[in-house]
Structures are given as C-alpha cells and as structure tokens.
C-alpha cells in the first residue's frame, strides 16, 4: 500500500494528510473540512497550527519568495511591477507595503482552499523545528538497515523474535505511520 502525504486528489474531491501528525482532512471542490491545509514550496504539507510566524529579520531572498508565492497575488497584485525584472528596491517596496497584510493572511487559522506554495520561512519542516513522519521512517531505515535497503536482516530478526504472524502483529499493531 502506498502512503501519501500532502494533497491527494480524485476528481472534485480531495484529501490531505498532514506530514507531521498524520491527521487527514478532506473536501470537495477545493474547500476543506476540519482544517485548511498548508503546503510550502518544497512540498511539505501540514496543518496551519504548525505554521511558523514570519520572522522580522528576513533576507531579501525570503521577502522575494513571499511576494512571489501563490496566493499572495491578491495582496501584492495591486503593484505595477515587472515581475520578470524585480530588483532589490522593488522587492523591499512591495514587501514593506504588504507586510501587515501578508502576516495577517498567514496567521489566519482558516483558509477555505488552503495555502499552496507557502514560503519556506513558515514551514516547520524546512526550519527543522518538526520532523515529518516520512523523514523519521527514512532515518530509521538508514540507521538500522543501511543505504542499500537490504531488508533480509530485518526479516531474519523478525523471524527470530516471533514464532508466527499473529505474535508479530500483536507487537506492531498499535504503530501508526
């Protein structure tokens, strides 16, 4: 079975699995029930409660990332700017004029359609404040199995410790991935 995180879509309905908690929300026609998902530009999908506040000491690159993020067109779109040739002065001007609106937008706990391509600076995974469920599993595999992914030694260990599948299942059944 393939475990999916982030956005999973089929026709007009879709569901979202938080990569931190594993909590699932679903919706129809782009509107979600339960919580509105957030997905950063690196593809980490999470519940809004995990989103970080925008720091006050952003670099010019971070400011540009924010004003170019999907969903911010309504906030920054009022400026007549050549988006293909932004210079540092343009970025500072747009960000400074939009900063309160951007922070308000990102701090809102509910966005009917979610936030896509959110800036890295609000992502708890990119900021290394939270570890995703998949990354934890990959770490454990690397640490205990190795880079080659050879599961033979894991199979041997399981068969040595447990006499049958029911016994093995009792040992692992409460684990959520």
Helix locations, the chain, DSSP H? 60-68, 73-76, 88-107, 133-144, 152-161, 165-172
41 in helix, strand or coil? coil
CB neighbour class for 82 (10 Å; exposed up to 12, middle 13-18, buried from 19): exposed
pTM of this prediction exceeds 0.85: no
Contact by Cβ (8 Å): 98, 76? yes
Contact by Cβ (8 Å): 72, 79? no
Low-confidence ranges of the chain (pLDDT < 70): 1-13, 28-34, 70-81, 108-113, 149, 177
Per-residue pLDDT, 151: 78
* Domain boundaries, given as residue ranges, for the chain: 6-122, 133-172
Length of the chain: 177
Q: pLDDT, tens digit, for every residue of 127-163? A: 999 999 889 888 888 887 777 767 787 888 899 999 9
Closest CA to 105 of 132, 133, 154, 69: 69
Per-residue pLDDT, 160: 94
CB neighbour class for 141 (10 Å; exposed up to 12, middle 13-18, buried from 19): middle
């Amino acid at each position: 079975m393939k475990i999916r995180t982030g956005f999973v879509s089929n026709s007009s309905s879709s569901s979202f699995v938080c990569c931190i908690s594993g909590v699932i929300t679903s919706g129809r026609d782009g509107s979600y029930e339960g919580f509105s998902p957030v997905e950063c530009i690196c593809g980490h999908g999470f519940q809004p409660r995990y989103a970080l506040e925008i720091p006050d000491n952003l670099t010019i690159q971070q400011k540009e990332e924010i004003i170019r993020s999907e969903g911010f067109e309504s906030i920054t779109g009022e400026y007549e700017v050549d988006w293909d040739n932004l210079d540092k002065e343009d970025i500072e001007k747009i960000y400074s004029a939009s900063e309160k609106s951007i922070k308000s937008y990102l701090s809102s706990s509910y966005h009917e359609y979610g936030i896509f391509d959110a800036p890295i600076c609000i992502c708890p995974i990119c900021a290394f404040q939270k570890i995703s469920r998949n990354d934890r599993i990959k770490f454990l595999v690397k640490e205990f199995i190795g880079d080659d992914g050879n599961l033979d030694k894991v199979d041997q260990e399981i068969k040595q410790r447990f006499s049958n599948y029911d016994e093995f299942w009792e040992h692992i059944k409460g684990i959520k991935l």
